């Protein structure tokens, strides 16, 4: 816990904020486990990666099948001139092979069909034929690798005539400022000029993310109604009656798998404060109910009008987010759209939160009860420390997740019905204690970058996302005509002062 800001109250029974309220006294996980035999199962939990544990036989969430088709072309002369850029001291064919391997590896991981033209493009007849192929069967994306200073007019011609295909121009230090202006004012075009070869994996991810967002269907438990689509994202929403959840909860029997999930969360918690073993078991059961409902309705994500529930879905949603499933509370359309962006574009879950600016210190506090623990992305097994806590109703089970102090954070809100994303950045200043504060369980305080007054931060239920992802988001916006704005300054671009 050294990495986290010291808490003014640790829940001790003698603390003034907790005196006389035995329910606030924290219990060590060792003591809790020894008194909750009903949660243990034959499975050796030490052998499980507990947050990755999920049933495969029951409540299987539908998987998106298929993926985008992306074309890759290398534009370079057959032989690089000695005096050019990169010039005769560079093995350009070997460079092309490296780019190809990087792209192919990312495509295999992300389910992208990559159509790579191995022969470099540099002759007028070949360019005309390639443009005709693009016209006859437009791909979901195009990556143009500009490999030599002498061929930039060819790159410009291809990009100008490629039609409406989202296009990334990749320059591995193959152009000067003049050449790199290309695409700056063109729709669905992003100039990726960087010596970082691994960025090509991000290029593939951007196309995969757009395809997944457009083909996802979200289960919204609120009032039943006809399906509708988030424009311009293409995401389908399936509204069903909120009562379905409670009906399914009563129908589903407690299983050994549910007990294993409850025991795993109990074992891994730094502290258990309020929840009883029955409440933790019910929270685990909620997770299985969510999965079951998504299976029945053939949906890939979920949002519920859950405010005030005695048995909240906070733990269930935290676990789903840690598994890469979009899950947000209060049937918030902007928040579920934001979560889809975070999961698919940045490869990590976001934390939906209620914003509360601190006007004394000009910081920004966000709190809610559904924070994920896999903050640093799905490629990273590290999890944030957490306590098991109650919910607003003083019942149920939620997580109080400790965000690492000093960690960079992106603050983001997408608009579900317009092509707009608000974004800003900051750093974690600390985690807010409850008591004495009475906000939601996970409460993170940020020092915002370039914001003179944190009351200017726009939106509600914005996401906190670990890491600074502004440049990746800007690339995504350029590719798919999504406006990216400074979260504290209407009409101003992201990444600069408000």
Report pLDDT digits (tens) over 152-207.
999 999 999 999 999 999 999 999 999 999 999 999 999 999 999 999 999 999 99
pLDDT at 46: 37
pLDDT at 14: 36
Check whether 233 has a pLDDT greater than 50.
yes
pLDDT at 416: 97
Place of tokens 């994202």: 233
| CA proximity to 276, closest of 18, 35, 15, 9 | 35
The structure tokens listed for 430 are: 């600390």
Segment 416-420 mean pLDDT:
97
Q: How far out from the chain centre does Cα 287 lie?
A: 19
Least confident of 10-19, 112-121, 227-236: 10-19
Segment 418-436 mean pLDDT:
95
Report the distance separating Cα 440 and Cα 392, nearest Å: 7
Segment 290-315 mean pLDDT:
95
pLDDT at 148: 96
pLDDT at 52: 52
Check whether 350 has a pLDDT greater than 90.
yes
**pLDDT classification of 39: cutoffs 50, 70, 90:** very low
At 50, is the secondary structure helix, strand, or coil? helix
Given 3-state DSSP classes, what are the helix, strand and coil percentages for the chain, each rounded to the nearest 5? 35, 20, 45
Report the distance separating Cα 58 and Cα 81, nearest Å: 62
Specify burial of residue 307 (Cβ count, 10 A radius: 0-12, 13-18, 19+): exposed
pLDDT at 59: 56
pLDDT at 88: 87
Cβ 374 vs Cβ 51: under 8 Å: yes
Cβ 337 vs Cβ 301: under 8 Å: no
pLDDT at 17: 34
Report the distance separating Cα 98 and Cα 410, nearest Å: 32
Cβ 351 vs Cβ 370: under 8 Å: yes
Query: Residues 354, 359, 360, 361: is their CA dihedral positive or negative?
Result: positive
pLDDT higher at 280 or 36? 280
Percentage of residues of the chain with pLDDT beyond 90: 81
**pLDDT classification of 483: cutoffs 50, 70, 90:** very high
**pLDDT classification of 438: cutoffs 50, 70, 90:** confident
**pLDDT classification of 91: cutoffs 50, 70, 90:** very high
Backbone conformation region of residue 423, classed left if phi is above 0, alpha if psi is from -120 to 50, else beta: beta
| CA proximity to 196, closest of 475, 486, 497, 494 | 475
Report the distance separating Cα 442 and Cα 81, nearest Å: 59
pTM exceeding the 0.75 threshold for the entire prediction = yes
What domains lie within the chain, and their CATH numbers?
22-63+216-486 (no CATH), 69-213 (3.40.50.2300)
pLDDT at 9: 44
Report the distance separating Cα 396 and Cα 316, nearest Å: 12
At 12, is the secondary structure helix, strand, or coil? coil
**pLDDT classification of 208: cutoffs 50, 70, 90:** very high
Report the distance separating Cα 290 and Cα 58, nearest Å: 11
Check whether 113 has a pLDDT greater than 90.
yes
pLDDT at 450: 94
> Which H or E element spans position 117?
strand 113-121
């Amino acid at each position: 816990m050294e990495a986290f800001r010291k808490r003014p109250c640790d829940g001790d029974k003698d603390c003034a904020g907790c005196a006389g309220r035995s329910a606030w006294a924290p219990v060590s996980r060792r003591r809790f486990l020894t008194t909750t035999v009903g949660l243990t199962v034959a499975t050796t939990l030490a052998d499980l990666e507990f947050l990755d544990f999920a049933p495969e036989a029951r409540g299987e969430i539908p998987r998106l099948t298929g993926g985008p088709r992306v074309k890759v072309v290398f534009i370079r002369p057959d032989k690089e001139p000695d005096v050019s850029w990169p010039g005769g001291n560079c093995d350009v064919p070997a460079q092309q092979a490296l780019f190809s391997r990087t792209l192919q590896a990312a495509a295999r991981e992300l389910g992208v069909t990559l159509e790579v033209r191995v022969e470099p493009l540099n002759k007028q007849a070949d360019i005309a034929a390639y443009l005709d192929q693009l016209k006859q069967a437009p791909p979901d994306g195009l990556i143009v690798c500009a490999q030599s200073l002498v061929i930039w007019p060819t790159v410009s011609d291809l990009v100008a005539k490629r039609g409406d295909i989202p296009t990334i121009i990749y320059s591995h230090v193959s152009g000067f400022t003049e050449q790199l202006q290309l695409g700056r004012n063109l729709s669905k075009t992003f100039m990726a000029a960087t010596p970082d070869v691994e960025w090509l994996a991000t290029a593939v991810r951007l196309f995969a993310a757009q395809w997944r967002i457009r083909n996802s269907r979200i289960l919204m438990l609120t009032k039943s109604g006809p399906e509708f689509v988030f424009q311009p994202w293409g995401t389908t929403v399936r509204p069903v009656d909120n009562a379905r959840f409670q009906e399914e909860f009563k129908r589903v029997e407690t299983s050994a798998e549910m007990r294993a999930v409850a025991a795993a969360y109990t074992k891994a918690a730094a502290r258990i404060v309020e929840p009883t073993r029955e409440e933790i078991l019910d929270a685990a059961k909620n997770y299985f109910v969510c999965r079951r409902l998504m299976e029945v309705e053939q949906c890939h994500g979920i949002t519920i009008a859950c405010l005030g529930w005695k048995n909240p879905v906070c733990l269930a949603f935290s676990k789903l987010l840690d598994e890469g499933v979009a899950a947000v509370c209060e049937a918030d359309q902007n928040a579920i759209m934001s979560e889809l962006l975070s999961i698919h574009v940045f490869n990590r879950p976001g934390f939906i939160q209620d914003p509360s600016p601190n006007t004394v210190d000009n910081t920004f506090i966000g709190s809610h009860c559904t924070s994920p623990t896999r903050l640093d992305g799905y490629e990273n097994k590290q999890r944030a420390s957490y306590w098991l806590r109650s919910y607003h109703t003083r019942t149920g089970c939620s997580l109080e997740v400790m965000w690492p102090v000093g960690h960079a954070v992106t603050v983001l809100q997408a608009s579900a019905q317009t092509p707009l994303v608000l974004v800003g950045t900051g750093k974690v200043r600390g985690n807010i204690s409850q008591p004495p504060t009475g906000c939601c369980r996970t409460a993170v305080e940020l020092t915002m970058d370039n914001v003179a007054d944190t009351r200017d931060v726009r939106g509600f239920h914005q996401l906190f996302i670990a890491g600074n992802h502004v440049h990746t988001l800007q690339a995504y916006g350029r590719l798919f005509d999504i406006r990216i704005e400074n979260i504290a300054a209407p009409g101003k671009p992201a990444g600069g002062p408000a």
